[in-house]
Amino acid sequence: MDQNHKILIYGYGNPGRQDDGLGNFFVEQTERWAKQESLTNLSFDSNYQLNIEDAANISVHDIVIFVDASLEEIDNFVLTEITPSSKVEFSMHSVSAAFVVKLCNDIYYKSPKSYLLHIKGYEWEFKQGITPGAIGNLSMAMEFMKPLLKYPEKIVSACQATNE
C-alpha cells in the first residue's frame, strides 16, 4: 500500500437536486471507508461547486480526484485525466476542474496529477435523495476506485481503461 502520495478526493454538486449530489455522497462514503482502512494520506472536501479558491486547497496534494455527477451518455462512471486549461468555463460562481488545476499551476507553481470521476446520474429535480440507478453507479465507481486509492501508481492505466 502506497501512503506516500497525498491524495485529495473532492466531490461537488447539489445534494438538494437528487443525483447532482453524487460527488458529495461519494466523498462521504469514501471517507468512511478510508478511516476503516487507516488510509492517512487521503484528504476529503466537498462543496456545491468548484471555486477559484480551490486552487490553494489542491496545491498541497500530489493527486486530486474531482468527483461529479454526469449528464453525459456514459456507462455507469468514467475516470478521465484533467488537462489544465486557461479557458474560463464558469457560470455564476463556479469554474471547471481544468481551470482550478491551471490556477493552481499559475499561482502556486504546483501541478498535482488531476482526474475527474464522472458518475452517471438520472434525475435532477429539486428534492433530496439519490436515485437507485445512480446509487448503483456510485457503488461501482467506489469499488473501482478503492484499489487505486490504495495503490495510486495504478490510476493512469485505470484511467485509460475506462476511456476505451
Buried/exposed code over 45-65 (b: 16+ C-beta within 10 A; e: otherwise): bbbbebeeebbebbbebebbb
Q: Residue 106: what pLDDT? A: 94
Distance of CA 52 to the CA centre of its chain: 16
State the cell numbers at 74. 456514459
Domain regions of the chain by residue span:
7-162
Residue 67 contacts residue 23 (beta carbons within 8 Å): yes
Instruction: Specify the pTM.
Output: 0.94
Which residues are CB-contacts of 134 (< 8 A; sequence separation ≥ 6)? 18, 19, 22, 69, 119, 120, 121, 122, 123
Task: Specify the CATH number of the domain 7-162.
Answer: 3.40.50.1450
Give tens-digit pLDDT for 49-84.
Answer: 999 999 999 999 999 999 999 988 899 999 999 988
* Residue whose C-alpha is closest to residue 82's, from 62, 95, 66: 66
* Residue whose C-alpha is closest to residue 1's, from 113, 115, 149: 149
* Residues in the chain with pLDDT values less than 70: 1-2, 86-93, 163-164
Q: Residue 161: what pLDDT? A: 73
